[in-house]
Amino acid sequence: MGRWRCRSQAQGRPGGRLAPEFFRCRLRGQGRRRQLGSRSSLPPAWARRRATLGHRLAHRPQALHHLEHARTSAHDLPRQAGRCLWGACGFPRVNSGKSSTYRTNVERRIIGAKVATGDAPNKRVLCAPAAPAATALQAVQRLRVDAESAGQRLDNYLLRILKGVPKTHVYRVIRSGEVRLNKGRAQADTRIAEGDEVRLPPLRLPDRSGTPRAPAREFPILFEDEQLLAIDKPAGVAVHGGSGVSSGVIEQLRQARPAARFLELVHRLDKETSGVLLLAKKRSALTALQDQFRSHEGGKTITKSYLALVWGAWPKNLKVIDQALHKTLDAAGERHVRVVAADHADGRRSITLVRSVRLLGAYSLLEISLKTGRTHQIRVHLASAGHAIVGDPKYGDFARNRDLARTPLRFARMFLHARELAFDHPTSGLRITLQAALPAECETLLSALSAP
């Protein structure tokens, strides 16, 4: 019966089973139980057992002291119709819900039960353990859509406004009609316009008072105006928090720029990748640039160039990798990407252009351009060709990466750098080309490999 056990009504107050119950309770976290009364004596049965168990408790004075403080006397246990309302070891009993003629009571120990206070001090009430004060109830809100949010989908607008509310809950209140757009129901994909009124129902938002704030940090700036911000992201810093990462570039920049009304990522780079990262300072700029990224596969609006150092000599005739990729998530939320057949139901066509820049003994320096922008595309495509990126912790050659990190060079990062990004400015239409210099540790490694 697991943690449930039966006992006859005729057994009365607890006694003989107290000592075994005491040791089992200690193993289940005795410190979490609340005090059920003032200090009192132990039940008589405990005194009889103490002689035989004294040697086992000789080194447990703290546990015995806690037990004496946390239990009421067996003589003070309330009774009703000849039945004991308290289980063994002083824990409240939960009845099985059967009628009074049912001759067996099912009891279970409740960790965290407490005594109700009020007009009936002798009445014992079973209460669930107190939940952490992690939520705060908001009242109905009416929001007016500004020019920066115009043209956005309703669900994306709410996800941005309601930071911390679970995504599933946001979609539930939209589907149920609790969210109103101009006093009417709306779908999640409805586009909102400037001046629209969005009514939000009362929502429980997480209390983040105990959550550590992201550290304020600025990054090397490659370009900035009223619309855009481009930085040189270092390796080892995630672009945003999540999957075990407390904060990333976007959170740290927002802390460093508290006066910024809007700051969002236009695209993403892997945590281990360094180089050009573009952010939007206005909603209109974000929408325009995301449209350019979406049309990237069919035209030349956006061009991205990377430098990568791989293991082995890259084949001169291998210039295009056209392989479908399939992304999965494990239980911890980690992303894993693999090459699949072109006709795979969940595969997405991915195209990578490769040019060999230099052969450095057992290494090859490559220039890479993307026709598509899939998760981990460069890393998976190069690894599938038998030439994994140096230092790649997920798809690379782990043994050789470890050996390289132990050399005097101490190179322990992934050699993948977003060197160049070109796009059309969202307002002026001018062609903007941004470049980030190769980090010092990568230059040092190339110099060492080029030395005779």
Rounded Cα distance, 207 and 165, in Å: 11
196 is catalytic: no
In the numeric block, which tokens belong to residue 362? Answer: 């057992």
Identified catalytic residue from 155, 196, 232, 270: 270
Which element (helix H / strand E) includes 442? helix 440-450
Rounded Cα distance, 19 and 49, in Å: 7
- The one-letter amino acid code at 175 reads R
Rounded Cα distance, 22 and 49, in Å: 12
Secondary structure class of 54 (helix, strand, coil)? helix
Task: Please check whether residue 412 is in contact with residue 405, taking contact to mean a CB–CB distance below 8 angstroms.
Answer: yes
Scanning the structure block, which residue is given the tokens 């990578």? 352
Scanning the structure block, which residue is given the tokens 């920049």? 253
Task: Please check whether residue 401 is in contact with residue 392, taking contact to mean a CB–CB distance below 8 angstroms.
Answer: yes
Instruction: Choose among 62, 10, 70, 63: nearest CA to 39.
Output: 70
Counting Cα atoms < 13 Å in the Cβ hemisphere of 277 gives 27
320, with CB counted inside 10 A (0-12, 13-18, 19+), is: exposed
Rounded Cα distance, 303 and 146, in Å: 32
- The one-letter amino acid code at 294 reads R
Q: Which positions are annotated as active-site residues?
A: 270
